């Protein structure tokens, strides 16, 4: 399997002037979004209830787990709450801030090349607790049953090409000042920039062989997204004045 590249991502929830709500890329919302797109259905409500009460109601679990009568009553309530939680899906586009950098000035193009790592095997990931309950596709084959949901969900980009061969146009005079203001007393130039990215999930599938924390994960949930918007910003965190808006 093609090797995959991990990315460190920072997130924001809303952006001034955005016409629709955005969401950060986080494990539980993305996992539920994946389920809604994948056609996998829950097969055991009791197992979901036990997982839900351990994960989301830890105090209740610790207090009543040795009292089988009270714990049974608590599980019935947790079943209803767990099903409600699982069906509460946010399908809004995702927004991310990605670390990128600019290379040495191209005097022929009068632009800085933008260095990103976007490619076919590039993805972002979020980790969580997984879900200890079985899921299956209706009328699916044996391999279309999952005994549990993995502890990782990844996001890949179907139109990753739009993030390749990018340049930041700038006249030589402005470019010289741009570099000078980023050069420290030792002569080192800070070439860090930030890329604000908006992507919408279009497909959901599973992928194997993901290496994470010295383990190889199987049946990893993957959201396949389309990049809708992208803009380059300075590395200082300000989002009021993009250096370049990328045409998608």
Look at residue 183 in the predicted model and tell me its pLDDT.
96
CA within 13 Å, CB half, 56: 21
Distances (CA, A) of 122 to 13, 41, 67, 157: 23, 28, 48, 8
Please give the structure tokens belonging to residue 55.
Answer: 């994960």
| Average pLDDT along the chain | 90
226 and 157 Cβ atoms separated by less than 8 Å = yes
Residue 20 has a pLDDT of 59
- Model confidence pLDDT, tens digit, residues 114-129: 999 999 889 999 999 9
Structural domain boundaries in the chain: 9-38+93-245
Q: How far is CA 59 from CA 69, 82, 230, in A?
A: 17, 16, 43
> What does the block give as tokens for 15?
């952006």
- CB of 198 closer than 8 Å to CB of 229: yes
For the entire predicted model, the pTM comes to 0.85
What confidence tens digit (pLDDT) does each residue in 186-195 have? 999 999 999 9
When mean pLDDT is compared across 6-20, 150-164, 219-233, the lowest value belongs to: 6-20
Q: Among the listed ranges 63-72, 95-104, 123-132, 136-145, which one has the minimum average pLDDT value?
A: 136-145
pLDDT digits (tens, 9 = 90+) for 8-21: 444 443 443 444 59
Identify the residue whose tokens are 């979901």: 48
């Amino acid at each position: 399997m093609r090797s995959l590249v991990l990315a460190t991502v920072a997130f924001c929830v809303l952006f001034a002037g955005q016409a629709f709500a955005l969401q950060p890329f986080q494990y539980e919302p993305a996992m539920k979004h994946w389920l809604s797109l994948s056609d996998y259905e829950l097969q055991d409500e009791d197992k979901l209830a036990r997982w839900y009460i351990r994960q989301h109601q830890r105090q209740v679990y610790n207090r009543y787990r040795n009292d089988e009568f009270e714990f049974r009553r608590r599980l019935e309530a947790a079943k209803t709450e767990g099903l409600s939680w699982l069906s509460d899906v946010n399908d809004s586009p995702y927004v991310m801030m990605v670390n990128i950098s600019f290379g040495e000035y191209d005097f022929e193009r009068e632009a800085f090349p933008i260095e990103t790592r976007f490619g076919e095997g590039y993805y972002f990931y979020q980790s969580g607790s997984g879900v200890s309950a079985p899921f299956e596709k209706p009328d699916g084959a044996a391999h279309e049953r999952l005994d549990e949901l993995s502890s990782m969900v990844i996001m890949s980009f179907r139109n990753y090409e739009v993030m390749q061969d990018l340049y930041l146009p700038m006249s030589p005079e402005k470019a010289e000042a741009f570099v000078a203001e980023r050069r420290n007393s030792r002569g080192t130039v800070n070439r860090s920039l930030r890329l604000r990215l908006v992507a919408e999930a279009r497909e959901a599938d599973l992928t194997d062989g993901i290496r994470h924390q010295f383990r190889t994960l199987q049946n990893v949930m993957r959201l396949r997204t389309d990049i809708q918007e992208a803009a380059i910003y300075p590395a200082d965190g300000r989002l009021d004045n993009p250096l370049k808006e990328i045409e998608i």
